[in-house]
Amino acid sequence: MGKTKTMLDDYQDDEMLDDEIYFAQYKAGLEGDWEAKVNKLIDEIEVTPYVFVYGTLMNGFGNNLLLEGTKMYSESITLEKYCMYAAHIPFVLESQKTSHIRGELYKIDANILHGLDQLEGHPTFYQRKIVETLTKDSEIVKAWLYFYNDENMEETDYIQRCEDGNYRNYRNQIQ
């Protein structure tokens, strides 16, 4: 019977010391059955290797560093309408339908997906779901999008709706 190779096997193949494995676990934020969580990420990336980013993960913004080593596939918009808000950082609500969200598509791997999950606090703060996007070349691409968890939404004066679903426009208007 053949054994499925996992990311854990790569650590063992490299004869990584126990301390280094512990540090890798800690750094990745994987608690409990971390091998199962790594394998789940690998399965999810096989569903679609694309992520749609609409805020500080876009090219030219600070968090784009997390996508280092990847290449932007295309500028894109969501096929379905959602609602974008911003309070220093942008967030999209799935439950409200006001505009198509504009952003960028990146082709990623399971390691990048995990890093994005950590940044976005998936699944508590943001929830990662698959949406359909339309590229500049009129190609429909399924991609992961991080939606803000509606349960965390609080109405405050400093939250502004981005009527056109474009975070770059929002940033240009407030500067």
Residue 2 is given by DSSP the state P
Indicate which residue of 15, 35, 104, 120 is catalytic: 120
Helix (H, G, I), strand (E, B) or coil at 53: strand
Give phi and psi for 43, each to the nearest 5: -60, -40
Give the DSSP H or E segment for 91: strand 89-93
Give bridge partners of residue 52 from the DSSP assignment.
105
Residue 148 is given by DSSP the state E
Length of the chain: 175
**Catalytic residue list contains 120:** yes
Provide the annotated active-site residues.
120
